[in-house]
Amino acid sequence: MAGGILRLQLDVPTKPNELDLILDQERTTKADDEAELAQNNRFLLLTDADLAKIGLTREVLVDRNDTLNARILAYGWPRHNVTLNVVEGDWLSPGSVQSFCGETSTNVATNSIDGDTGTHWRHVANERHSIVYKLRDFPLRVEKIRFFYNASLPVNEQLTNLDVHMAKALVNIDDAGNILESGLNLTWPGTGGVFVDHTLATPKASAVYIKLVFDTASAVNTGQIREFEVFCTPRKA
């Protein structure tokens, strides 16, 4: 409009039980995906010989279930109605802690994924710290990571020289191809009390396990993580 201002208003995010999979040019529903997942799980109770008789393999079924589990989770992610109904993704806390270098008193490793910014994981040791998280039982696509760090004593939570590993199988977590960031130094605002985001140089298409290895800005290298989250988007083929 000449001389005017065009304003685009986004709808309030909703969570309908349908997804448009534009890349695959198909429409799916949550009910259909859950039904297929249930059927696949019944097939997985059969022997390999019986699966072969109906033209299926255990590997194909497991791979399909990975896709279905990720998609069923995505039905609950926020989205905006503009012209298309688009799933943008969402920030998720890992589901569990797989291993860690150490913890101090009640400041246990699981505090770093409990959704409570009033708690934290702390390891009082002058060493390079590490922790491995399990995101979910099935792979998800991860594009970004973020950390919440406190306004009080922020140096303990200002991670430095950060290596980020992600892999579908834990045994491969240290493979060169699964090290997505090496020696990363985030920009930490001095005030604290905020999330600090980082977009991965290369998104990880199939992440189950996430490993962080880091030092901190603390003079004695005390390590803390208050909250760690990853931004997941629907998996691409």
- Residue ranges covered by each domain of the chain: 18-88, 91-233
pLDDT above 90 covers what percent of the chain?
A: 74
Per-residue pLDDT, averaged over 107-132, amounts to 97
The pLDDT assigned to 217 comes to: 93
The pLDDT assigned to 237 comes to: 45
pLDDT digits (tens, 9 = 90+) for 164-208: 999 999 999 999 999 999 999 999 987 888 999 999 999 999 999
Flag whether the pTM goes above 0.85.
no
Q: What is the 3-state secondary structure (H, E, C) of the chain?
A: CCCCCCCCCCCCCECCCEEEECCCCEEEEHHHHHHHHHHHHHHCCCCHHHHHHCCCCHHHHHHHHHHHHHHHHHCCCCEEECCCEEECCEEECCCEEEEECCCECCECHHHHHCCCCCCCEEECCCCCEEEEEECCCCCEEEEEEEEEECCCCHHHHCEEEEEEEEECCHHHCCCHHHEEEEEECCCCCCCCCEEEEEEEEEEEEEECEEEEEEEECCCCCCEEECEEEEEEECCCC
Per-residue pLDDT, averaged over 68-83, amounts to 83
Fold of the domain built from segment(s) 91-233: Jelly Rolls (2.60.120)
Count CB-CB contacts under 10 A for residue 156: 23
Lowest mean pLDDT among 18-27, 61-70, 207-216: 18-27
What is the band of 16 on the pLDDT scale with cuts at 50, 70, 90? low
| pLDDT above 80 (res 8) | no
**Which residues are CB-neighbours of 10 under 8 A, at least 6 positions away?**
80, 81, 82
Which one has a higher pLDDT value, 234 or 99? Answer: 99
Which one has a higher pLDDT value, 86 or 29? Answer: 29
What is the band of 153 on the pLDDT scale with cuts at 50, 70, 90? low
